[in-house]
Amino acid sequence: MALLPFLVGLTTLALIYGLLALGLNLQYGVTGLLNFGHVAFFAVGAFTSALLTLPPKGSAAYLQADAHYQIGLGWPVPVGFLLAGVAGGLVALLIGATSVRLSSHYLAVATFAMAEIVRSVLTNEDWLTRGEFGISNVPQPLKDTVIPAAVYPYAYLAGTVVIVAVLLALTVRLTESPYGRALRSVRDDELAARSLGKRTPALKLGAFAVGGALAGFAGSLWTHSLGVVHVGQFVPIVTFQVWLAVLMGGSGNAYGALLGSLVLMTITQSTRFLGNVPFLDGLTRRNPSFVPSLRFVLIGLLLIAVVRFFPRGILPERPRRPRRRAVSARRRAQTGASGGSGATDAADTPDTPDTVSREDEP
């Protein structure tokens, strides 16, 4: 059993999801924005990075791969990576600009709908994306030239670890900064933040854009890790998985978001072993979809259980400073605000029949 390559492959993917979760954590966990269209930024990042780095049409590599795409600029992968972040951020800014004014329910569904529009565009504009064919010769940096194929997954994991660690450190610094505190004030009590002179729409847009950029980076890492880009990847389920990771890990805590992704990957992949259980294996003879469906039943139940029994996640958001905490706790008790961490903070504010009404502020 080659457990090591298996773990290496999955850890890389989990870290990429962790980067997505880091972005969502900034938007939701820190700022309280209900973004249900996160997958759109991931998709835009992946396509940007792929199209910028693919060998140009007509080049030797293009012909050798028997490729059919129209656009490939052949730029270096690091440039593709950086611009993927820029593209993710810009699209987030665009989507954010149309919707940050919406109240929570509308924002959730509007972002969800916009992600579907993005997916629709990527599916149908084949001249750009090859639509449902996908593109399967996305360059993998340094492969075969510097790093032999046999150890490539290990090298890619190492690179991913470094990139994610740097972005994690930057994100943590950002949330600890005065700017991060301003974001949190939007989450905890938008009205108060506004009355203190904070420009809340701009703050929200900023969080949207930075979160989108992180998702864009994740898209770039994803496409070069598998060497493909295909619109079939960017379905709503991805958004829900990232939400699950953030909520499990502990929303509001960047480390939690990352840990949540690792735990989520462990769970979704270990449930694959259900099919290896001899008794269950027998059941698939009657209905081949039985065990795979059972797996998702379990994942669904897990999602429900996490929300109900671990409302604050594995690594809850750390209290800031004692003084601030006292203030914010008092304020919460007064207003019954659950803020952005509706699922999480409510645990320490059980007296919140009005939780929802605060969320309804437009």
In terms of CB distance, is 9 or 74 closer to another protein? Answer: 9
73, 127, 273, 319: which one contacts another protein (CB under 8 A)?
273
Smallest gap, in angstroms, from Cβ of residue 184 to another protein? 17
List 15, 122, 163, 238, residue binding another protein (CB under 8 A): 238
Q: Binding of another protein at residue 77 (CB under 8 A)? A: no
Nearer to another protein among residue 59 and residue 355 (C-beta): 355
Closest CA to 23 of 256, 165, 210: 210
Buried/exposed code over 257-274 (b: 16+ C-beta within 10 A; e: otherwise): bbbbbbbbbebbeebeeb
CA atoms within 13 A on the CB side of 254: 20
Nearer to another protein, 101 or 330 (CB): 101
Number of residues that bind another protein (CB under 8 A): 102
* Among 19-27, 81-89, 322-330, 351-359, the segment contacting another protein (CB under 8 A): 351-359
Q: How many alpha carbons fall within 13 Å on the CB side of residue 288?
A: 0
Question: Are 218 and 42 spatial neighbours (Cβ–Cβ below 8 Å)?
Answer: yes
Output 124 or 177, the one with its CB closest to another protein.
124
* Adjacent-strand bridge partners of 229: 135
Minimum distance from residue 162 beta carbon to another protein (Å): 21
Token pair 């449902």 is found at 132
Instruction: Name the minimum Å distance from CB 227 to another protein.
Output: 5
Measured from the CB of residue 3, what is the shortest distance to another protein in angstroms? 7
Site map 218..237 versus another protein, x via CB under 8 A: ----x---xxx-x-xx-x-x
Q: Does 2 bind another protein (CB under 8 A)?
A: yes
63 binds another protein (CB under 8 A): no
161-200: contacts with another protein (CB under 8 A):
none
- Cβ closer to another protein: 177 or 287? 287
Write the CA distances from 348 to 247, 329, 343, integer angstroms.
Answer: 16, 9, 11
Residue type, 337: A
Q: Yes or no: say if 235 and 328 are a contact pair by the CB < 8 Å rule.
A: no
In the block, tokens 């290990």 appear at 154
Q: Decide if 200 contacts 20 (C-beta within 8 A).
A: no
Residue (177 or 357) nearer to another protein, CB:
357
Q: Contact between 294 and another protein (CB under 8 A)?
A: yes
How many other β-carbons are positioned within 10 Å of the β-carbon of residue 112? 18
Is residue 348 involved in binding another protein (CB under 8 A)?
no
In the region spanning residues 103 to 142, those forming contacts with another protein, defined by CB under 8 A, are 103-106, 108-110, 112-114, 116-117, 120-121, 123-124, 131-134, 136, 140
Non-local (6+) Cβ contacts of 88 within 8 A are: 41, 42, 44, 45, 48, 212, 213, 214, 215, 216, 217, 219
Are 107 and 234 contacting, i.e. CB atoms less than 8 angstroms apart? no
Give me the least distance between CB of 206 and another protein, in Å please. Answer: 20
For position 282 contacting another protein by CB under 8 A, the verdict is: no
Which residues in 13-32 contact another protein (CB under 8 A)? 13
Q: Which residues of 159-189 are buried (b: 16+ CB within 10 A; e: fewer)?
A: bbeebbeebbeebeebbeeeebebbbbbbbb
Choose, by CB under 8 A, the member of 166, 288, 319, 327 that binds another protein: 288
Residue 280 found at the interface with another protein (CB under 8 A): no
Which residue stretch of 75-83, 209-217, 284-292, 321-329 sits at the interface with another protein (rule: CB under 8 A)?
Answer: 284-292
Binding another protein by CB under 8 A: which of 82, 86, 93, 302? 302
**Interface of this chain with another protein, residues 86 to 105, rule: CB under 8 A:** 98-99, 101-105
Nearest to 335 by CA among 198, 196, 200, 192: 192
